[in-house]
Structure formats: structure tokens, C-alpha cells
Chains A and B, each alone.
Chain A
Amino acid sequence: GAVVSQHPSRVICKSGTSVKIECRSLDFQATTMFWYRQFPKKSLMLMATSNEGSKATYEQGVEKDKFLINHASLTLSTLTVTSAHPEDSSFYICSARGLAGMVEQFFGPGTRLTVL
């Protein structure tokens, strides 16, 4: 139980293009999903928290117009990196939290984004 998937697992794009990453909870309904960014050999940095049907809450320093988050259903959240630049290259990981007072977060396998 508590399986979270991400798609794609790897993406390479040209500078200036937009990239969409999907996060799905496969066997539970996720009221809240989180998006993290991780640099090599570093910890996970929370970018934003998204609740189904409402606007995402962004952490300080994260540009909401650049990192668009949509949580349209209880099993799907998307992160779109708009007008990507090489400095956006990173490992993006989502996590999901279920209903009824669950606090544990279950992570997806991550998406490696490389912007050329």
C-alpha cells in the first residue's frame, strides 16, 4: 500500500521550454501532496504544498509563476516548470499524504530534470 508514482522519471529539455511532471497516488487518496527539490548529495527542500481543489502554498523563495502546481484530483498533482533554464536542473520529488489524520508522507521515485 501507499504507492506514489511520478512521470516522467527523466526529462531533458531545451532552455525556454516548459516541462510537466505528474505525481500520482496509486492505491490511496491523497488530500495533500508536496513537491520537493533535491540537489546532488543534499537534503530535500520543500517547494510547495498542494491540497486537492485549492491553490498551492509555496515556500519562501519559490517562484509560483515559474513552478506551477495543480492538484486537480485526490490522486494527481502536477508540477510544471515554465520557461526552464539550466539552473532549474535538479531532482524533483513529490510526496503524498492520505486522508483521516495521516501524517506520514509517501514519496514518489523522483524526476531528474536536465535543462540544456
Chain B
Amino acid sequence: GQQLNQSPQSMFIQEGEDVSMNCTSSSIFNTWLWYKQDPGEGPVLLIALYKAGELTSNGRLTAQFGITRKDSFLNISASIPSDVGIYFCAGSNTGNQFYFGTGTSLTVIP
């Protein structure tokens, strides 16, 4: 199946810093989802995006649906230690099957 490329692959940041990551696809999607996964657990849905250009926030998290519909971005402001984990994007053009990104591993240094 398709796989989406996420960048960066990993990040090491100081607590309090802002974080930006992105996800790109060769295909157009009409839905983007962002998940966070802690080790040994299932992913937890953070934000869902439904149309091009949409900007949606969930607390300190903000995600955007790229205008080209081939990319999406996730920002985390004022990072805290519990933000540590792997962040996955997922895209779909049918609403049924989602393709997952390669993941961005975030480490927050207190």
C-alpha cells in the first residue's frame, strides 16, 4: 500500500520549545488524521482534517491540511515532557482506508 513520508524522522528538543513536523504524499487525500503513539500502546487520535487549507487546533496542537491536498502539518507549541512519543499522520481519499506516515519520533528534554 501507499506510505506517506514524514519529516523529520526524529526530533530532540528542549522543554518549552515549539515543534513542527510535516507529512507528504504523492497522492491527493481528502482527509488527514494525526495520531500520537506511546511505546507499546495503540495510536491515539489527536486531530482530524477534512478540507484543503483547514487549520484545526487541539490545545497546544495545531494541524493544517495543505492546499495541494498532498501534505499536512502538525505543530506543537510550548512542548512538555509528556509530548514524548511517535507522531503519525494518516491520509485517505475514500474515508475508508487510511495510509500511515513513517512517523516522527519526538523527545523532549526537561
Contacts and interface: CB of A to CB of B under 8 A. Distances in A.
Interface of A: 4, 6, 32, 34, 36, 41-46, 49, 59-60, 91, 93, 95, 101, 103-110, 112
B27 to A, nearest CB: 15
Given A43-B103, A46-B97, A49-B96, A107 B40 contact: no
Interface centre among A34, A43, A105, A109 (most CB of B within 10 A): A43
A36 B43 CA distance: 11
A23 to B, nearest CB: 10
B35 to A, nearest CB: 7
Contacts of B42: 4, 6, 93, 95, 107-110
A46 B103 CA distance: 15
Interface of B: 1, 3, 31, 33, 35, 40-45, 48, 88, 90, 92, 95-103, 105
Contacts of B90: 105
A105 B98 contact: yes
Interface of chain A, main secondary structure: strand
Nearest to B10: A41
Contact of B88 (A44, A103, A106): A44
Contacts of A36: 100
A59 B105 CA distance: 27
11 contacts: A42-B103, A45-B1, A45-B100, A60-B1, A93-B42, A93-B43, A103-B96, A106-B45, A107-B35, A107-B45, A110-B41
Contact of B43 (A41, A103, A107): A107
